[in-house]
Amino acid sequence: MNVMALVVTTGVFVGLSVWFLIAERYLANYGKCTIKLNEGDKLFELNGGGTLLSALYENKIFIPSAFGGKGSCRYCKVTVVEGGGPLLPTETPYLTRAERMSGVRLACQVKVKQDMEIKIPEELLYVQEFQARVSGVKELTRDIKEVTFELIEPNEISHRPGQYVQVRAPGPDGIVTRAYSISSPVYEKNIVQLVVRLVPGGIGSTYIHNLKEGDPVSFTGPYGEFRLNEDPEVENVCVGGGAGMAPIRCIIYSIFHRWLERSCWLFFGCRTTKDIFYMENYEELSKKHTNFK
Ligand SMILES: Cc1cc2nc3c(=O)[nH]c(=O)nc-3n(C[C@H](O)[C@H](O)[C@H](O)COP(=O)(O)OP(=O)(O)OC[C@H]3O[C@@H](n4cnc5c(N)ncnc54)[C@H](O)[C@@H]3O)c2cc1C
Ligand code: FES
C-alpha cells in the first residue's frame, strides 16, 4: 500500500513537472520585455520567455559561453540588477557566495520574464561576430594543427595579445562554442590564426582538425582580460607548451613589432623534441632582435 502511494505521488509530481515545463515553453506569454544594459548604455525590447544569453546574442551582445549554454562552464556570468527572479538550483553550484550576494547570475539559466536591468564588462560591448573562411591548415605536431581563418565579414579584427575567440562547432545536440587563443600577431588584422590540440572525442577540437581550406567558419571575439605590460623597460618571460603556445606566439610577435629592443625570454615546455614547433621562426626572430632569448 505504502509502495503504491509512493508510486502514485511520484507519478503526480513527475506529471506536474512535465506539465509546467511544457506550459512554460509553449503556453507562457511574457509579452514584450525591456533589457537595460550598463545603466542605459543600451536598451532593447524583445519577446520574453527565452534565456538572457540568447536575448543578448540576438541583440549582438556576445558574452562568453560554452557547452551550448548548458550551465556548467561558468563563462556567461552577468550582474543582474533587477528582474532576474530568484537564484536557480542550476546556478548555485557555479557561483561563489560573494557573486551570489552581488547579483551575479548565469545568463544561460536566467529566463527573461519581465523588464530587466543588467551589467556586463564594458569591453564585451565590442565583441563582434565574424564570418570567415579557412585559408590555411598546417600540422605542427602529431596532435596539434595551426589553422588560419581569413576574415570575410567583418574583414578586420582588433585584438590585444593574449586574447581569444569562441569558435562555433556543430555538436550532437546543436551548436557548441569553444575558446581558442589567437596566435596571429595583433598587426595581422585580416586573419585569425589558431593553434589547436586534438582532444580525442572532443567536439570543438575534432571539428577544427577536420577543417579544410575554403571551409566557412564562424566565431565571436575577441575576449579576455589579459594585458601586456606597456612599459618597454619591463622584461617579458613567456612559459608555455603545446597548444598553450598559441597566445605566446601572438604576444612575442606583437612585442617585437612594437618594441624592437624589448627584452623577452621564451621557455618552451615539452615531453619530447617531437612536440616542439615554431622553433625556426623563433630562431629567425632572435637574430633580428638580440634581446629575444
Ligand atoms: C580561454 C581559453 C583559451 C583556450 N585556447 C586554446 C588554444 O589556443 N588551443 C587549444 O587547443 N585549446 C584551447 N582551449 C581549450 C578549448 O577551448 C577546448 O576546451 C578544447 O579544445 C577541448 O574542446 P573539445 O570540444 O574538443 O572537447 P569537449 O567536447 O569539450 O570534451 C571532450 C572530452 O575531453 C575532455 N577534455 C576537454 N578538454 C580537455 C583537455 N584540454 N585535455 C584533456 N581532456 C579534455 C572533456 O572532459 C570531455 O570528456 C582554450 C580554453 C580556454 C578557456
Ligand atoms: S554558458 Fe556555460 S554556464 Fe552559462
pLDDT reported for residue 186:
94
Q: Which residues pair with 292 in a beta bridge?
A: 264
Would the pLDDT of 10 be above 80? no
On whether residue 243 sits in a domain, the answer given is yes
Residues in the chain: 293
Q: How far is the CA of 69 from the centre of ligand 2 (A)?
A: 4
Does residue 24 belong to any structural domain of this protein?
no
Cα of 202 vs centre of ligand 1, distance in Å, is 7
* Residue 222 burial (10 A CB sphere; 0-12, 13-18, 19+): buried
Same domain, 243 and 167: no
**Which ligand approaches the C-alpha of residue 107 most closely?**
2
Read off the pLDDT band of 157 (50, 70, 90): very high
Rounded average pLDDT over 146-160: 97
pLDDT of the residue at 14: 63
Give yes or no: residues 217 and 282 share one domain. no
Name the domain boundary from 81, 102, 123. Answer: 123
Amino acid making up residue 147: V
Question: Which CATH number goes with the domain that contains 39?
Answer: 3.10.20.30
**How many whole angstroms from 154 Cα to the centroid of ligand 1?**
26
Q: Percentage of the chain with pLDDT > 90?
A: 71
Q: Within this chain, do residues 219 and 133 fall inside the same structural domain, yes or no?
A: yes
189, 263: one domain = no
Does position 199 have pLDDT exceeding 90, yes or no? yes
Select the more confidently predicted residue: 42 or 89. 89
**pLDDT at position 264 over 70:** yes
| 57 and 82 belong to one structural domain | yes
CA of 23 from ligand 2 middle (Å) equals 24
How many domains does one find in the chain? 3
Q: Which of 72, 104, 220 to mutate to test the pocket of ligand 2 (most atoms within 8 A of CB)?
A: 72
Q: Identify the residue whose C-alpha is closest to ligand 1 atom 2.
A: 179
Same structural domain, 54 and 116: yes
**Domain CATH for 203:** 2.40.30.10
Q: Which of 155, 170, 162 is nearest to 253 (CA)?
A: 162
**How far, in Å, from the CA of 105 to the mean position of ligand 2?**
10
Q: Measuring from atom 33 of ligand 1, which residue has the nearest CA?
A: 202
Among protein residues, the one whose CA lies closest to atom 13 of ligand 1: 180
Percent of the chain with pLDDT over 70: 90
Residue 277 covered by a domain: yes
Q: Looking at residue 253, which CATH number applies to its domain?
A: 3.40.50.80
Question: What is the rounded average pLDDT of the residues 266-293?
Answer: 93
Q: What mean pLDDT do residues 154-179 have?
A: 93
Is the model's pLDDT at 103 over the cut of 80? Answer: yes
User: Which ligand 2 atom minimizes the distance to the CA of 73?
Assistant: 2
Q: Which residue has the cell 621562426?
A: 281
> Is residue 11 domain-resident?
no
Each residue's pLDDT tens digit, 25-61: 555 667 899 999 998 877 888 888 899 998 999 899 9
Residue numbers of the domain that contains 261: 236-288
277, 272, 255: which is closest to 264 by C-alpha? 255
DSSP letter (8 states) at residue 25 = I
